[in-house]
Homo-oligomer: A and B are copies of this chain.
Amino acid sequence: MPLSQSTRNKLKTVSTATICTALYKRGLRNQMIQDVRPLDSSKPTMVGEAFTLRYMPAREDLNPVTVFQDRSHPQRKAVEECPPGAVFVIDSRRDPRAASAGNILVSRLQVRGVAGIVTDGGFRDAAEIAKLDIPSFHNRPSAPTNLTRHQAIDINVPIGCGDAPVFPGDVIVGDADGCVVIPADLAEEIADEAVEMTAYEDFVTEKVLEGRSILGLYPATDEQSKIDFAAWRRAKGR
């Protein structure tokens, strides 16, 4: 089920926190990619379908720097094959002691129209990557070449990333809180529900900052909260 433009647009307007709650209501508790953060937290929300790369631990004899002379090396091949609009997700086995990728590869992804990149390891050239337009997420900067610890072994297979399950085609959303994985077949309904939840949360935030108590308001157990929200939506056109 490909990600529609409409669902993509909706997801760009909601937070990973709201999405997590919508997933939680469906019994999905482990969809947050744990312990990754944006290299630049001021970027707009990242949305796209997962295109994955799996790393395994590097064996020294198989990973001289010359491996990249092979055009079919999985890391380089994946960078050229990741579809525009997708999010490039790397399973680095939560190991940031060597880089998952660097500025040149991320620049190439940006030029190719890729929607973003996330690894549960780290990026080298982190300061340069932060300045690119493409959103990027990692655990921490890491200068050593990926060959030091990681060998790219599989393209677009199901992986783990930050302890979350990621299947190719799942929808990845990333903001300042990190990245969440929405199962492909739930993306549309989660997007719809999250848009509704966001409207209510925005209303609540406004009321709370105006001084109202959260009791009866969050959640809306007071009838008046629902009435006020209906009025607010009309006034805001949401």
Binding site for B on A (CB under 8 A): 15-17, 19-21, 24-32, 34-35, 37, 41, 56-61, 65, 68-69, 71, 76, 79-80, 93, 95-97, 99, 102-105, 107-108, 110-111, 124-127, 140-145, 147-148, 151, 153-154, 157-160, 163-165, 175-178, 180, 183, 201, 204-205, 208-209, 211, 213-216, 218-219, 221
* Given known contacts A177-B124, A221-B69, A183 and B61 CB-to-CB distance under 8 angstroms: yes
Q: List 20 A-B contacts (CB under 8 A).
A: A20-B144, A20-B145, A24-B147, A28-B61, A32-B143, A34-B97, A37-B140, A37-B141, A41-B127, A61-B183, A93-B93, A108-B208, A108-B214, A111-B209, A126-B176, A126-B177, A127-B175, A143-B177, A143-B180, A151-B165
**B143–A178 touching, CB < 8 Å:** yes
CB neighbours (8 Å) of A218 from chain B are 68, 76, 104
Minimum-distance CB pairs A-B, first 10: A127-B176, A17-B124, A143-B177, A16-B143, A17-B143, A141-B177, A57-B165, A20-B144, A59-B165, A57-B160
A165 and B29 form a contact (CB under 8 A): no
Q: How far is the CB of A1 from chain B (nearest CB, A)?
A: 15
Closest CB-CB distance, A145 to chain B, in whole Å? 5
Q: Contact: B61 with A214, CB < 8 Å?
A: no
Measured CA separation A192–B176 after assembly (Å)? 39
Inter-chain contact A176/B32, CB cutoff 8 Å:
no
Determine the distance from Cα of A151 to Cα of B58 in the docked complex, in whole angstroms: 23
Closest to A73 in B: B215
A111 to B214, CA, bound (A): 11
Query: Is the beta-carbon distance between B104 and A208 smaller than 8 angstroms?
Result: yes
**How far in angstroms is the closest Cβ of chain B from A69?**
5
In-complex Cβ contact of A219 among B69, B157, B177, B178 (8 A): B69
User: Chain B: which residue is nearest A127 at the CB level?
Assistant: B176
Known: A108-B208, A201-B104. A178 touches B79 (CB 8 A): no
CA distance A140 to B214 in the complex (A): 25
Is B176's CB under 8 angstroms from A141's CB? yes
| Contacting pair A68 B219 (CB below 8 A) | yes
